[in-house]
Structure 1
């Protein structure tokens, strides 16, 4: 059987040998092996995942490398970089499984030169390795070079070098900016590149067909395997290119594609990069053999499912090993989406149960790749645990969603319709997280249609309903003392069991009471449509607002029958009241509902709450033990912490506080919680509590990094001073790594001796870091701008922007310092430019009269500049002064700008002319009639200054100035 042979084939060039040969070749040529950087670039918030081999060398290319680091002396490097392209700008997720060469996870083999060798050596290395070491037939290889564009000449040097190593001229092809000019970003190092392409097709009649016309045409049989980038320019902010002082080489070769070529396959998936995983998938599922078919040749979809699952388990394992834990935000959401996509393929096409499916494949992957990438071996148990947890969670929602889909499908069929209503499609997404494209696929299988416009309309109706007028103005439904008294006399309504609020799962609850209009009702049907009401449950997993932590939102529902949108949760003497609105259907006392809090809201709240504990610890470390908590707020978008301290926290102290917090977070410490008797808990060394707060007995102790049991085993241990330990009833992350980052965005005083810190964590922290980075780019560009009116205008704009920025307080402070220096330099440049302009204008007057000693009048047009107005005023003062050198001469100066639509002019009438009745205002007034505007000056005075708007009539104005003064005797 063909599929059996694919999965059991042995190869001369095994994947392991291909990789080790590449690394050995370059090590022998003086390259240092640099282990792959993390596939989750925690230090680079601009990237969801590491997506290319060069990412970790950015600082070398940009010239920002730490001189004390190993990278500072690195001249030649080689490695195999783990890459993920499943989100953001580079996203191959939708193509995986459908073709022979797309992967969400892949390895990028690379060799680098940092200011050492350049094109000649790079080209010689790549050709020798491919043809002499790996033995690839030269007839299958094609190379490209940059053909020239954007004012750059063609890279004929590369072309000639390829010819010199023996590449036939008809296998050397020119390529455009898109294919053969590489740039790091809008600004930064860049340069031409030279690709190597491989023809997968077998020769016909012993002869190869020329594949030149298929290069860079997305043909699956003529693929790019290696790219040599020659970094020799820097892209400036004005888009111009400047040559770099040091030239670099950055290469990247697709490992999976190279293995495919060496094993003479037409699909990356037919190689032993993937076949060991296929074997394990078959063992787990009992599915038929993998046959390597695509599209219509794979009618049962099983081969596609093999490819999807094998690819996705690689992505999931490496992402999780490097800290990319699945969640509902950013890269965590991408990981979750990859898992759910793979799980759906596994259940639908491989007909296997999901819940612990991926974790069973992980050991085979570790065996295959653990030596090269030891992190997956080290984190194997964590990877399996997280995958199982995620799968189990998805299995629940997938089951519920599929059941609801069946109900909706049956309802449509019963009505004799082939259309699935938009409301139902939207509800599958809104309630069960089914993407519309998944619902479409399921609908097609049942012969049903979906109208996209109907779905959009349903979405819009839901959006409008959630904004309803009554909701905006309605006061929150609350329980007062009378209501609580009534509840005490209702034994059928117990106080709410809220232990599940610390869990992360949906639970099933029973409605015990419905409250509206100061009454306890039996059914939601008694609540007027669109009005807010409250619900009491026997047990809840919703967090009621307390201890500074905001409430949860979410829903209470019976699948497909009724849903309450919960918008607020408050606790009253042990009763937890869920307030909100009816979305559809009706519910009654005694109804069993699914309690489902909004994880998208809870997730950042958890991060911010644990972040508050970490911050509290850091404050004590930096400011001393006299710091006491005076209040806090934990919301999804930020955390706020008030504390006692006599003076403002300095920038140096803030820096230390952030660093201690960051170190604690980066340790990925486990967060422990346990109920402890209050008397014992108070004895724990270094425990933090809010002064004056009344705590329950037992009290919940939350410890970061050390288990509560360990704390209790030796409560007086001084080591606990170095641990965050607090009394707290809030929700927290499982490990501090989930917080990602903590950035302080504000420090201020709110009362005498009370300070406030506002901070952000997680995605919000990444967002403010990105915002700061973007602004720094603008600030640096402003600093480099030559002095001009444009620079002055940009400075005013950035001043406003800086004041409005919500970024790290430390960064903002440094930006203010940098901006102050720039502002001072602009002011100095303004003064210097004004002084130079004054001198230029006055020198022009002096030069004229020294050259034309008998002349009594100068009418002169000046070149326009931002300082011309002041220069003309200054010159008129200088010639009209009591001791002025040219006081006996009459002067008219004029300048204009067509672009700005402005004219400035000024004049001085010497005594010789004023004795004949001439005056400055009268002279200027005649000119103003032509150039527009007005001219000012006291009647009869010798000087006048004017401004106009008709710059196109400047020459006419000057002619009028000459004619008018000539009326008087010279």
Structure 2
């Protein structure tokens, strides 16, 4: 039975039992506290918590999932990163009996797997499930196992959880350990956990207590890969139709065969799994970076490239596998085919970049291990692991994997310290209301049946009723002056932060008090929360109030939001259709727009983009808002963004044939209201992602005035007209460079002149002069100039110089050609003595340098260097 048939059968089975199918959500979850979608139930959490109203109380789905917890194990015959989870869910509808009965019916009757091959497990305290399996389903007691780990959740410190019942498939004694007590839960491969039925009946409080949920829920999950293994009768998931075509293509590229060498098989499995994973990640809008989910993508992709190299693949190859993945899965996930070009572009760019540094990084890694082995060490220093990460693009986990294969470990704490030093980022302060959605979920859930009516598209002021007051940790009936609160109204003109647009500010006025609104958030799609402080008097639930948005601030936000739509359209026209939105910020003082593009935008392109946006502003185009069925909007060519959830009816914002996007934000009515548009910066924020920052309206006018004033003042000081500033600045820079070189030459002359007596008193070792001295110089360049002159002055021998630059010790060694011929190696001299300085160094036989942190031992290091030169010369004659 092919995987596509299993998908179809599963959905049909539960549809016949009253379930509504929901499409797979993106691998980029809507919950900001979660990195990636790791389970089928993730998109159901808002329903389970009562934060959102489900489309039905019975749901079923086939969910894309990505987990990295076992990534180091991927390569064996069972562990995966990307997988598909078949699930059925009950939101306060049916419970244990139905979940167990239907799972058994699907496995034994619809799929036809013999009943005696299935072994259920239950939690020891779940007597109902044990008896139901035994008495109603008819499973013999010797095939029902009670296991302590049959308990699911919660995710985080608090949340819904409950016992579960797992259904295991007996693959046969040939897969087992042979022990009489072998059964589900054994570490051997005989019993394959196939389906997990989770009975969510409790909520864990912060103090650890479990309270029964008023509405019990069902969450089940069955891995498509595992049930396909069973239905196709193969030895591992990699031999199913979900993997084998990818694995086979990888083997063809590498010129190897599967199932002949264990080492080759492992690499082929890694590549097959990771090729699926990166294709789906990029398809859902993830881009490579050094943080978050982008780091996961980069790590998985680079691990695949490294295993390709182990198989002898020296050229980029992943896009060949991407095409196989798309052919296998696009019939069920059509966005893969729609995004094929973008997936190719992102993966090709990342793979080519890593291919260029991989060989050099591996050489560096092997040299480090060689040094550690010679010194008897087994731990790779954290700063060296960081250098592999920073210079060669090796994710830390890849370095750890390489080290493990050679019997070494990595100083992870040292790596983290080095990473932290490099970042030197200020930690953003966290507001008192910055709890996660999950932590405040219970408070918000109490208002889920009373959605907030948003009236802010058409008005900035309205009469409303207070329906809820939330303190820092509880619901309130009233609040007094000075208190921080969250306020919920039955209707509001305040826009809750969404789609990149920041939340509104303003005030809410009651007869008895005034609340200053400092931010507006939307913790659930239907609930708008006003965050702020009671400025005067007091307020209470049930009061009638006047909600007033800061009109000037909203107007600035509207200008910037419409400008992002114009910018998006201009980018696609100038750079190409691949330049799609990857994130945005629409604030009152500026706009920020992230988009997919693999190279910096040239000054000429930026000027054309800016000009194109301003052309639409000058034309004063009408901005039209319509509500359409999603299918009709997409058919019209409206742009939908990755990772966004859209309902059956969507809001379409059109700008007179120039732009058309699905958008819930606020906009101007005509583009002329924007006033002007100026790009202020263009940078890279991640691999394949660029960022443009810009200003509009009065902010653009103020910026233009400031730039004019600055250029005129600079021109006045340089005695030129503003148009001549670039040439005048270049002349000035050249003068500075010339003067700096002259200063360094004079400093070197002065230092060398002072050291002339040292040349006369140089030690003589086996016919060679050796000068070792500490000098005062302003820079490393001057140190090298002095070294060159002293080396020329001694004619034949070695020069070793030490200095302190910004209170950090530096050491330089130079050897004349005949000294090198006799066995002197300047690089080894420096390498031998820099540990005394708390650092490292090295170089060529004729010149080397190094440094450290302990300047107090510089004289000791110079003496040791002289001794090392003497040792090298003595050894060369012995």
Alignment of 1:868-947 (within 5 A): none
Three-state SS of the structure 2 residue aligned to 1:728 is strand
For residues 689 and 422 of structure 2, the distance between their equivalents in structure 1, rounded to whole angstroms, comes to 34
State the shift of 1:55 in Å: 1.0
CA contact (8 A) 1:142 1:212 kept: no
Cross-structure match for 2:665: none
For residues 726 and 662 of structure 1, the distance between their equivalents in structure 2, rounded to whole angstroms, comes to 12
Alignment of 1:68-147 (within 5 A): 71=54, 73-86=55-68, 91-98=69-76, 100-147=77-124
Q: Cα–Cα, structure 1 residues 714 and 200, in superposed 2: closer, same or farther, change >3 Å?
A: same
CA contact (8 A) 1:699 1:727 kept: no
- Structure 1, residues 874-924: CA drift from partner, whole Å, max 9, x if none? xxxxxxxxxxxxxxxxxxxxxxxxxxxxxxxxxxxxxxxxxxxxxxxxxxx
Correspondence 1:170 to 2:121: no
Alignment of 1:637-676 (within 5 A): 650=549, 669=568, 672=571
Three-state SS of the structure 1 residue aligned to 2:286 is coil
Alignment of 1:33-44 (within 5 A): 33-41=21-29, 43-44=30-31
Alignment of 1:685-704 (within 5 A): 702=606
Three-state SS of the structure 2 residue aligned to 1:336 is helix
Three-state SS of the structure 2 residue aligned to 1:730 is strand
In the superposition, the TM-score normalised over structure 1's length comes to 0.46
Cross-structure match for 1:318: 280
Cross-structure match for 2:518: none
RMSD: 4.8
State the shift of 1:103 in Å: 0.7
For residues 566 and 209 of structure 2, the distance between their equivalents in structure 1, rounded to whole angstroms, comes to 43
Aligned length: 507
Listed as ranges, the gaps of 5+ residues in structure 2 are 425-496, 506-547, 575-587, 591-601, 622-654, 659-669, 694-701, 703-878
For residues 238 and 211 of structure 1, the distance between their equivalents in structure 2, rounded to whole angstroms, comes to 42
State the shift of 1:257 in Å: 0.7
For residues 714 and 665 of structure 1, the distance between their equivalents in structure 2, rounded to whole angstroms, comes to 12
State the shift of 1:173 in Å: 1.7
State the shift of 1:466 in Å: 11
Cross-structure match for 2:253: 284
Correspondence 1:353 to 2:314: yes
State the shift of 1:38 in Å: 0.7
State the shift of 1:456 in Å: 7.5
Three-state SS of the structure 2 residue aligned to 1:251 is strand
- More moved, 244-253 vs 232-241: 232-241
CA contact (8 A) 1:700 1:727 kept: no
- Structure 1, residues 609-643: CA drift from partner, whole Å, max 9, x if none? xx9x9889999xxxxxxxxxxxxxxxxxxxxxxxx
For residues 245 and 616 of structure 1, the distance between their equivalents in structure 2, rounded to whole angstroms, comes to 36
Cross-structure match for 1:222: 191
- More moved, 712-721 vs 116-125: 712-721
Computing the radius of gyration from Cα coordinates, the structure with the larger value is 1
- Structure 1, residues 903-951: CA drift from partner, whole Å, max 9, x if none? xxxxxxxxxxxxxxxxxxxxxxxxxxxxxxxxxxxxxxxxxxxxxxxxx
| Partner residue of 2:3 out of 5, 15, 38 | 15
Correspondence 1:341 to 2:303: yes
For residues 203 and 450 of structure 1, the distance between their equivalents in structure 2, rounded to whole angstroms, comes to 35
Three-state SS of the structure 2 residue aligned to 1:273 is coil
| Partner residue of 1:385 out of 328, 339, 345 | 345
| Partner residue of 1:267 out of 236, 251, 255 | 236
For residues 324 and 172 of structure 2, the distance between their equivalents in structure 1, rounded to whole angstroms, comes to 32
Q: Cα–Cα, structure 1 residues 714 and 663, in superposed 2: closer, same or farther, change >3 Å?
A: closer
For residues 188 and 416 of structure 1, the distance between their equivalents in structure 2, rounded to whole angstroms, comes to 51
For residues 651 and 211 of structure 1, the distance between their equivalents in structure 2, rounded to whole angstroms, comes to 74
State the shift of 1:175 in Å: 2.3
For residues 296 and 165 of structure 2, the distance between their equivalents in structure 1, rounded to whole angstroms, comes to 32
Correspondence 1:188 to 2:151: no
Cross-structure match for 1:374: 334
CA contact (8 A) 1:77 1:113 kept: yes
CA contact (8 A) 2:200 2:217 kept: yes
State the shift of 1:389 in Å: 0.8
For residues 183 and 616 of structure 1, the distance between their equivalents in structure 2, rounded to whole angstroms, comes to 32
Three-state SS of the structure 2 residue aligned to 1:333 is helix
| Partner residue of 1:60 out of 44, 47, 50 | 47
State the shift of 1:651 in Å: 6.2
Cross-structure match for 2:678: 727
Three-state SS of the structure 1 residue aligned to 2:40 is coil
| Partner residue of 2:270 out of 308, 330, 337 | 308
Q: Cα–Cα, structure 1 residues 325 and 419, in superposed 2: closer, same or farther, change >3 Å?
A: closer
- Structure 1, residues 730-766: CA drift from partner, whole Å, max 9, x if none? 2245999969999xxxxxxxx9xxxxxxxxxxxxxxx
For residues 327 and 166 of structure 1, the distance between their equivalents in structure 2, rounded to whole angstroms, comes to 53
For residues 53 and 668 of structure 1, the distance between their equivalents in structure 2, rounded to whole angstroms, comes to 36
State the shift of 1:35 in Å: 0.8
Q: Cα–Cα, structure 1 residues 367 and 436, in superposed 2: closer, same or farther, change >3 Å?
A: closer
Three-state SS of the structure 2 residue aligned to 1:135 is coil
For residues 162 and 377 of structure 1, the distance between their equivalents in structure 2, rounded to whole angstroms, comes to 47
CA contact (8 A) 1:408 1:420 kept: no
Alignment of 1:550-949 (within 5 A): 650=549, 669=568, 672=571, 702=606, 716=619, 718=621, 722=671, 726-728=677-679, 730-732=681-683
For residues 214 and 401 of structure 2, the distance between their equivalents in structure 1, rounded to whole angstroms, comes to 56
Q: Cα–Cα, structure 1 residues 660 and 252, in superposed 2: closer, same or farther, change >3 Å?
A: farther
For residues 589 and 128 of structure 2, the distance between their equivalents in structure 1, rounded to whole angstroms, comes to 72
- Structure 1, residues 798-825: CA drift from partner, whole Å, max 9, x if none? xxxxxxxxxxxxxxxxxxxxxxxxxxxx
In the superposition, the TM-score normalised over structure 2's length comes to 0.50
For residues 118 and 689 of structure 1, the distance between their equivalents in structure 2, rounded to whole angstroms, comes to 52
Three-state SS of the structure 2 residue aligned to 1:112 is strand
CA contact (8 A) 1:401 1:434 kept: yes
State the shift of 1:112 in Å: 1.3
- Structure 1, residues 534-553: CA drift from partner, whole Å, max 9, x if none? xxxxxxxxxxxxxxxxxxxx
For residues 426 and 735 of structure 1, the distance between their equivalents in structure 2, rounded to whole angstroms, comes to 19
State the shift of 1:96 in Å: 0.7
For residues 218 and 423 of structure 2, the distance between their equivalents in structure 1, rounded to whole angstroms, comes to 55
State the shift of 1:146 in Å: 2.0
CA contact (8 A) 1:326 1:332 kept: yes
Q: Cα–Cα, structure 1 residues 618 and 228, in superposed 2: closer, same or farther, change >3 Å?
A: closer
For residues 133 and 422 of structure 2, the distance between their equivalents in structure 1, rounded to whole angstroms, comes to 67
For residues 33 and 552 of structure 2, the distance between their equivalents in structure 1, rounded to whole angstroms, comes to 28
State the shift of 1:341 in Å: 0.7
Three-state SS of the structure 2 residue aligned to 1:215 is coil
Q: Cα–Cα, structure 1 residues 126 and 410, in superposed 2: closer, same or farther, change >3 Å?
A: closer
State the shift of 1:402 in Å: 3.2
Cross-structure match for 2:822: none
State the shift of 1:184 in Å: 4.3
Three-state SS of the structure 2 residue aligned to 1:217 is coil
Q: Cα–Cα, structure 1 residues 64 and 406, in superposed 2: closer, same or farther, change >3 Å?
A: closer
CA contact (8 A) 1:93 1:104 kept: yes
For residues 58 and 92 of structure 2, the distance between their equivalents in structure 1, rounded to whole angstroms, comes to 9
Three-state SS of the structure 1 residue aligned to 2:343 is helix
State the shift of 1:463 in Å: 8.8
For residues 668 and 170 of structure 1, the distance between their equivalents in structure 2, rounded to whole angstroms, comes to 67
